Amino acid sequence: MSSLAPFIRLMKPHLGWVLLGSFLGLLTLFASIGLLTLSGWFIAATALAGVSVATAQAFNYMTPGGGVRGFAIARTAGRYFERITTHEATFRLLADLRSWFYGHLEPLNPARLHHYRSADLLNRIITDINSLDNLYLRVLSPSLIAAVTTLLVSGFLWWVAPSLGVLILVALLSAGILIPMLGHRLGATLGQSQVAKASALRQASLSYVQGMSELHLYQALDTQQALLEQRQQSLLDTQLRMSLITGLVTGLMALAAGLTTLLALIIGVSLVTEGSLAPAWLALVVFCVLASFEAVAPLPMAFQYLGKTRAAAANLLEITEQRSDIVFPAQPVQPTAPGEIRLQEVSFAYDSTSVLQQLSLHIKPGEKIALTGHTGSGKSSVINLLTRFWLYQQGQIYLGGVPVEAYPEAQLRQQLSVLSQPVQLFAGSVRDNLRLGNPDATDVEMMQLLEQLELVDMLGSEGLEREVGEGGNRLSGGQRKRLGVARALLKPAPVLILDEPTEGLDMDTAQQVLDTLLNYRPGQTVLMITHHRQGLERFDQCIQLDRGRRID
């Protein structure tokens, strides 16, 4: 249960909703037990009262009849408000869990996350968190309600007859503990397997959808569909086995309820024969015993799926218990030379693969620099080190005359505007994507920049409200690239870093993009990473890398 402890502690801000839901659930259960118990007594007492005219006339039909109606109304209303309250509590908890999880995920640097697929992280933040509703809705609250109900019903039947109180106490404890334990033992491994198989199926499905064009081109749809069917069948087999376990524990619970009711009937008949129990109370006892099993009936299935819940919790804790290798200070710094970049004997390796070897370079404020080299020469790693996505092992990097490690994270992000490769656009309008770079940018500024990048025709009649689609899928590759360039240019940062801004563009369009990025902010430092040679004469310096070393 240690894996569930952090999630139980997260209930504290919503403890009022949780306790209110449990209280309403307890009242609803009492109304249900009371309804069946009183109805049994009422029917039996009415039948006995009808034996003679005198007893029939003396019998009070109104009070128990009103009690039956009251219990029925209370059960219906209680169930309604209990469902509203418990689901409200659960939705609030799940919303907080997602914020909590993302709050732990966001600070992790790529060095911690590059082993995880995006589909895997998406599955954790959606499906695994949703799986935790079993903990709140079906384990904690029902267990508390079952414990209270067991004590109260046992006390009531003890008052009727001590032997009946002992019987129901032993029966409810046995059924409420042993059968859920059996369900948990049988379902723990299968539940963990179900989480893993469901995750694998969702990842394969996402890859299938995202790569459908390539699968069509290479005639690999059948192979991928066969993989999906295989994983789906494996998940269905696991679900079937879980369903069989559910049937088993449900049947055992029904058997326990039936045997306990039979024993209560035997004891009750004996008490009636002895004169210790009124005949009508025999029906009350039998129906009370039968109804009381409603308190423990949900527990076997809840604990059967507790293994699944624990597996989901472990998946979340695998991420949240990690800590970033990179620590940002809280105290802001004052750059002495805004826009200056200096690398002194910097060495860097991804795990054991050396990428940069004693690299030194100096970029003065306002200079326009092209960083060239073949694929894998270390160009993009320079961006990752400047943005502190990764830690270098040797040397020192200065930004604005200050060690890059001295910047608080927010201040560091203000110093740099970065166009990454590939360009990431977000579902929404052109305006929405541009304002990520500068929330204060006016429509006029955005339109002027788009005109310089020859993107105005793309807008059509919708203007800046033009939807770009998920990941920019409503735009061409060149349009996505130039829109990313526009977003980077709008950010008023001292340093502009662009990773392959002209990749995939024709020569004329590439020249237009170069004109814009070199002249849009004349005093801005520009570091452009490219492996093309065209237009490099327009830069102040051209620095070439090879195997992590400077060779120019």
For residue 233, pLDDT over 90 is answered with yes
More confident residue, 221 or 398: 398
336 located within any domain: no
User: In CATH, what number is assigned to the domain containing residue 392?
Assistant: 3.40.50.300
- At 61-78, the pLDDT tens digits run 778 788 889 999 999 999
For residue 58, pLDDT over 70 is answered with no
Quick one: pLDDT at residue 238?
A: 92
For residue 526, pLDDT over 70 is answered with yes
What integer best gives the mean pLDDT of the chain? 87
Same domain? For 301 and 402 the reply is no
For residue 50, pLDDT over 80 is answered with no
Quick one: pLDDT at residue 52?
A: 58
Mean pLDDT of 527-548: 83
334 located within any domain: no
Q: How confident is the model at residue 435 (pLDDT cuts 50, 70, 90)?
A: very high
- At 161-219, the pLDDT tens digits run 999 999 999 999 999 999 999 999 999 899 889 888 888 888 888 888 878 888 888 88
Helix (H) or strand (E) holding 542: strand 541-546
Strands (DSSP E) contained in 293-441 are: 341-350, 353-363, 368-372, 394-399, 402-403, 416-419
Separation in Å, CA 4 to CA 20, 39, 125, 129, 316 = 22, 42, 16, 12, 10
Spell out the residues 6+ positions from residue 180 whose beta carbon is closer than 8 angstroms to its own: 249, 299, 300, 302, 303, 304
Same domain? For 370 and 499 the reply is yes
Same domain? For 80 and 204 the reply is yes
Helix (H) or strand (E) holding 453: none
Query: What angle, 0 to 180 degrees and rounded to 10, lies between the N-to-C axes of helices 162-210 and 221-274?
Result: 170
Same domain? For 386 and 301 the reply is no
The answer to which of 146-160, 206-220, 420-434, 512-526 has the lowest mean pLDDT is 206-220
Using the structure block, give the residue that is written with the tokens 């990025």: 517
Quick one: pLDDT at residue 552?
A: 66
Q: List the strands of the sheet with 402-403, edge to edge.
A: 353-363, 341-350, 394-399, 402-403
Same domain? For 157 and 122 the reply is yes
Question: Of the candidates 200, 191, 201, 203, which has an alpha carbon nearest to the alpha carbon of residue 312?
Answer: 191
Question: Of the candidates 380, 358, 347, 156, which has an alpha carbon nearest to the alpha carbon of residue 264?
Answer: 156
Same domain? For 142 and 255 the reply is yes
User: In CATH, what number is assigned to the domain containing residue 275?
Assistant: 1.20.1560.10
Peptide bond into 422 cis (omega under 30): yes
The answer to which of 7-16, 53-62, 539-548 has the lowest mean pLDDT is 53-62
Quick one: pLDDT at residue 56?
A: 58
Q: How confident is the model at residue 59 (pLDDT cuts 50, 70, 90)?
A: low
% pLDDT > 90, the chain: 32
Give buried/exposed letters for 437-475 (b at 16+ CB in 10 A, else e). bbeebeeeebbebbebbbbeebeeeeebebebeeebeeb
The total of structural domains in the chain comes to 2
Q: How confident is the model at residue 1 (pLDDT cuts 50, 70, 90)?
A: low
- At 259-275, the pLDDT tens digits run 999 999 999 999 999 88
Same domain? For 271 and 396 the reply is no
Same domain? For 239 and 371 the reply is no
545 located within any domain: yes
For residue 374, pLDDT over 90 is answered with no
Q: How confident is the model at residue 291 (pLDDT cuts 50, 70, 90)?
A: very high
